[in-house]
Structure 1
Amino acid sequence: MFNRILVAIDGSKMSEKALQTALKFAKERFSKIGVIHVEKNLQIVDGMPIKTIDNIYTDQETKGRDLLQQAITLAEEEGIEIETHYVMGEPAIQIAKKADELNYQLIVIGSRGLGNIKGLMLGSVSQKVSQLAHCPVLIIK
């Protein structure tokens, strides 16, 4: 039923559980898996030196790509075909957009990520993804 599964990761415990769940689904159903890491756009303070901004972007990208590499390693150990996506922007929008663009049939996402208190007031990424996505969304607790 779900031949293409997209899982969102951010380095949180819940995203690790989501990845493990997606890998299990993929292995049981001989599915392909996509892993997405969305880096939020930086909020740049006036007067911040360009070199500092570049260093922050480089550090963020390195951490995000390391997370994706870890997912590749786990998938390859299980013999699961995997593709990865590193994107920048608003996480819920980018996850739903990527799922739609690449015809994923299921999105797997943790119920809580690395967000802050602001997320409690505005609604979590997983809730927003479930509202925006055109495919089923499995929220892992």
Structure 2
Amino acid sequence: MYNRILVAVDGSKMGLKALNSAIQFAKERYSKIGVIHVEKNLRIPETIPNESIDEIYKALREEGNEILDHAVALAAEEGIEIEPIYVFGDPAIQIVKKAEKENYQLIVMGSRGLGNFKKLMLGSVSQRVSQLSHCPVLIIK
């Protein structure tokens, strides 16, 4: 039984599909859902002024919060309450760490997200999560 499900969302169609699948799964099994959005750390040249860097991170945070707010609203329409989680770092590592630390029993994510060149076949993040995770990973196509 999967009482705690962690869903990774990135604003892509596959992320939305994964969220919808997790919501249906949770409704059937009375599970709790955490939804995580991981913002990749940026490599910003030193020549960019600090004010500009602050604006970049502010814009990223706003976009990430919009993605999470949308996820919360979709789940609420189905009568499911979810915990939104926003973090910076390597997406695969952060997803796996959160799942382990918070004792999630299942990770749900899309097979591809918004990564560079829209990876052929299985996306690099979902592939890494499936290799590193302590719990089952459901990859939605």
TM-score interval w.r.t. the shorter chain? over 0.9
Q: 1:53-64 maps to which residues of 2 (within 5 A)?
A: 53-64=53-64
For residues 90 and 112 of structure 1, the distance between their equivalents in structure 2, rounded to whole angstroms, comes to: 16
Q: Which amino acid is 2:32 matched to?
A: K
Task: Indicate how the Cα distance of structure 1 residues 6 and 24 shifts in structure 2: closer, same or farther if over 3 A, else same.
Answer: same
- CA deviation digits over 1:101-130, x for unaligned, max 9? 00000000100010003966xx61000000
TM (norm. structure 2) is 0.95
What is the percent sequence identity of the aligned residues? 68
For residues 131 and 61 of structure 2, the distance between their equivalents in structure 1, rounded to whole angstroms, comes to: 27
For residues 75 and 17 of structure 1, the distance between their equivalents in structure 2, rounded to whole angstroms, comes to: 12
- CA deviation digits over 1:16-70, x for unaligned, max 9? 1000000010111111000000000111012101111000000000000111111
Asked whether the equivalents of residues 106 and 138 of structure 2 are also in contact (C-alpha less than 8 Å), the reply is yes
Quote how far apart the aligned CAs of 1:78 are. 1.2
Number of aligned residue pairs: 139
Q: CA RMSD in A?
A: 1.3
- In the alignment, which residue of structure 1 is the partner of 2:32? 32
Q: Tell me, which stretches of 5 or more residues in structure 2 are unaligned?
A: none
For residues 63 and 124 of structure 2, the distance between their equivalents in structure 1, rounded to whole angstroms, comes to: 22
Q: Tell me, which stretches of 5 or more residues in structure 1 are unaligned?
A: none
Q: 1:1-141 maps to which residues of 2 (within 5 A)?
A: 1-117=1-117, 124-141=124-141
Structure 1's consecutive aligned runs of 4 or more residues displaced over 6 angstroms after TM superposition are none
